[in-house]
Amino acid sequence: MVADNAARQIASGYATEGAAVDLGAVVVDGAVDAEAAVRIPLATMNRHGLVAGATGTGKTKTLQLLAEQLSDAGVPVLLADVKGDLSGLARPGEGGDKVAARAAEVGDDWAATGYPVQFWSLGTSGRGLPIRATVTSFGPLLLAKVLGLNATQESTLGLIFHWADQHGLALLDLKDLRAVIQYLTSDEGKAELKGIGGVSAATAGVILRALSNLEARGGEEFFGEPELAVGDLIQQVDGKGVVNLLELDDVQADPVLFSTFLMWLLAELFEELPEAGDLDRPKLVFFFDEAHLLFSEASKAFLERIEQTVKLVRSKAVGVFFCTQLPTDLPNPVLSQLGARVQHAIRAFTPEDQKALSRTVKTYPTTEHYELDEALTSLGIGEAIVTVLSEVGAPTPVAWTRLRPPRSLMGAIGEDAVRESAAGSPLHGKYQETIDRESAYELLARKVAAAPEEPEPDVDKPAEDKPGALQQAMENPAVKSFFRSAASALGREITRGLFGNRRR
């Protein structure tokens, strides 16, 4: 009876008047109270969140549970499927004694349910519809992260992008960027290279080698057209929010690439969506799996942009949930902005683990019902320590929570089924085929080739005053006309957002 009273006391902090996502029921002293519900108000899900825990503790099933209920509420979801086992969201689940027992003890009227799923893949070799970005849109800051550049090289890449932007040169794929860098490091382009800030030719050469390494890893398939329109991620089918499932198991060998692409998607959402104000539910919830990869070895400028984007994107009614093993994987400025915490078990086997456990305990509100350091190492599979923001924006009491079972299939549906689903999508015709239109690579080659040949040297003219082929090309009326029209078509000079990604 005492445990029941404690559970009801905790659950009173999770009571909501509006719609909410039901996580499960409160556990006190090992007993679960089916009447003590733990919920996240939909109105606060754009205040972001964290799903954390050691491998095998139930994080993936928690993401599945959240995605299902958001879809039921009409909220689209973007979910990265790193291990390839979330495709079951598209099919009704399979009942059984274990599912029935878990549903009964947490007060869930479980029913097998499938959800509208749009399968996506990064690049063109996956099973889903390909997500591509143009190099221009991706921008120098994110590309520097993918290329593994240091701060000096990152700055140089930014200047090269600026030069291309000024001249209206669309960098659609990696060969376009390579053409611009080769131009600027050629004998004819030295003056142009110097004119954009004294960029070192040696540094530009390092960037070229990094591009070659990226191409050798198959990176060229991620850049090009047609580029994803983020509005296609915000869809409903029969009143249910579409679950956009980004299949990533094929690119696990290059985790920095996929984590940075996820950040590009978030940055695009921030730049493209209008201000929304306070809504009763988010427009989209973005689940950022394997989040530690995004922050690993990131430059100071990159980390600052992440913090700004997470802080500001909630005004666009987009919620972001980071998924990782430990809260300490995230920088403190990001962690401090996360309103919901769903912490699965922590394994504390090493001194470093013990330190991380101690730091995690300090991030929770005080509680008289649990010894958190003991609780966090004692949680069973499918259990979590939870605190969220209430409807009035106050932290809820800490709740040891036994989570509801997902209603969709807990497992993969198979590669052929994913391909078949993607092929039948209304978006298939829009994204499936790669387009290679005229861009910087072709334009630079053609325009400089069309420039008049260099005249015989004027022996009376100082060497530094003699124009090179690139300078002559730039002075050619036809080339000038091209650059003016190209820049006009792109909005004169491209403007860039927080991450240097193109703003349309």
Structure tokens at 146: 């993918």
Identify which of 215, 198, 190, 217 has the alpha carbon closest to the alpha carbon of residue 152.
198
Share of residues in the chain with pLDDT > 70 (%): 85
What's the DSSP call for residue 112? -
Give residue 450's pLDDT: 57
Tell me the per-residue pLDDT of 104-120, one tens digit each, with 9 for 90 and over. Answer: 999 999 999 999 999 99
DSSP 3-state of 480: helix
Closest by CA to 415, choosing from 23, 147, 119, is 119
In the numeric block, the tokens 């530690």 are attached to 292
Tokens 């989570």 sit at which residue?
Answer: 403
Query: pLDDT above 90 covers what percent of the chain?
Result: 56
Q: Give tens-digit pLDDT for 395-426.
A: 999 999 999 999 999 999 999 999 999 999 99
pLDDT at 87 (0 to 100): 94
Q: Evaluate the omega torsion of the peptide bond into residue 426 and state whether it is cis, within 30 degrees of 0.
A: no
| Domain positions in the chain | 2-132+225-413, 135-222+434-503
What region does 126 belong to: left with phi over 0, alpha with psi -120 to 50, or beta?
A: beta
pLDDT for residue 235: 96
How far is Cα 253 from Cα 9, in angstroms, rounded to an integer?
47
Say whether pLDDT at 73 is over 50.
yes
Strands 240-241 and 236-237 come out as antiparallel
Q: What is the pLDDT of residue 485?
A: 45
In three state form, how does the secondary structure of 345-412 look?
A: CCCCCCHHHHHHHHHHHHCCCCCCCCCHHHHHCCCCCCEEEEECECCCCCECCCEEEEECCCCECCCC
- CB-based burial, 29-68: b 16+ in 10 Å, e otherwise: eeebbbebbbbbbbbbbbbbbbbbbbeebbbbbbbbbbbb
Q: What's the CATH number of domain 2-132+225-413, 3.40.50.300, 3.40.30.10, 3.90.230.10, 3.50.50.60? A: 3.40.50.300
169 vs 251, residue with greater confidence: 169
How far apart (Å, rounded) are the C-alpha atoms in residues 10 and 25? 10
pLDDT grade for 198, boundaries at 50, 70 and 90:
low
442 compared with 268, residue with greater pLDDT: 268
Using one digit for the tens of pLDDT, what is the confidence trace for 206-223? Answer: 999 999 999 888 888 899
